[in-house]
Amino acid sequence: MASYVPRSIRQLQRLLRGMSTGMMTTQTSDGTAHTRPMMVHEVDDEGWLWFLTDRYSRKAWELIQNPQVTIAFQSSQGDRYVSVQGTAVVVRDDVQLEKMWKPSYRAWFPRGKQDAEIALVAVRVARAEYWLVPQRRLARVAYAAKSIFTGRRHEHHGVLDLYPALI
């Protein structure tokens, strides 16, 4: 029997479908923002994003010091943009690692999934903001013309509050 997945999490899963890389922003100890690309494995049914990292990496250290993150995604067609905020935790979870592991990850971890330096970054998404843009040029032109005549912007923008108490 399938478990219940809240609507906001199902919507986030749909929004992020096909977006394999996000730009994760953390805070350094002096408060400076540090952003880097991260390959996301999945958005699970509890609203967690899962990433693979090196437990001794700079990002792991920054997340231990300040677990608040923002991750920005853009679809390859440029028709979807998603920004998520949440709280991250750096963990070693062999069951989750087994689900996530791909042979291509040996490029970063040559000793394979048994490598002691592998850690997972799990981000509990509290809030997601998204923008949907029509793919077809004609639709974009029509929206622009409509905006000129009505004086109102016509973009599809929304906010998902998954766990608002976390931010």
Over residues 74-109, the pLDDT tens digits come to: 999 888 999 999 999 999 999 999 999 999 999 999
Label residue 14 by pLDDT band (50, 70, 90).
very high
Q: Three-state SS for 13? A: helix
Tokens found for residue 19: 């977006």
Cβ atoms within 10 A of the Cβ of 86, count? 23
Global confidence as pTM: 0.83
Tell me the residue type at 142. A
* pLDDT tens digits for range 18-42: 999 999 999 998 989 999 999 999 8
**7-166: which CATH architecture?**
Roll (2.30)
Q: What is the pLDDT of residue 153?
A: 62
H-type alpha helices, 39-157: 58-65, 94-100, 137-150
Q: Is 160 exposed, middle or buried (0-12, 13-18, 19+ CB in 10 A)?
A: buried
Q: Is residue 5 very low, low, confident or very high in pLDDT (cuts 50, 70, 90)?
A: confident
Residue 128 · residue 162 · CB < 8 Å: yes
* Residue linked to tokens 């592991």: 101
pLDDT in the model for residue 92: 93
Q: How would residue 65 be classed by pLDDT, with cut points 50, 70 and 90?
A: very high
Q: What is the pLDDT of residues 115-164, one digit of tens each?
A: 999 999 999 999 999 998 876 565 555 555 666 666 666 568 889 998 76
Dist CA 138 CA 83 (whole Å): 26
The amino acid occupying position 89 is V
Whether the CB-CB separation of 124 and 165 falls below 8 Å is answered with no
What is the model's pLDDT at position 156?
81
| Widest CA span in the chain | 61
pLDDT at 139: 53
Q: How far is CA 32 from the centre of its chain?
A: 20
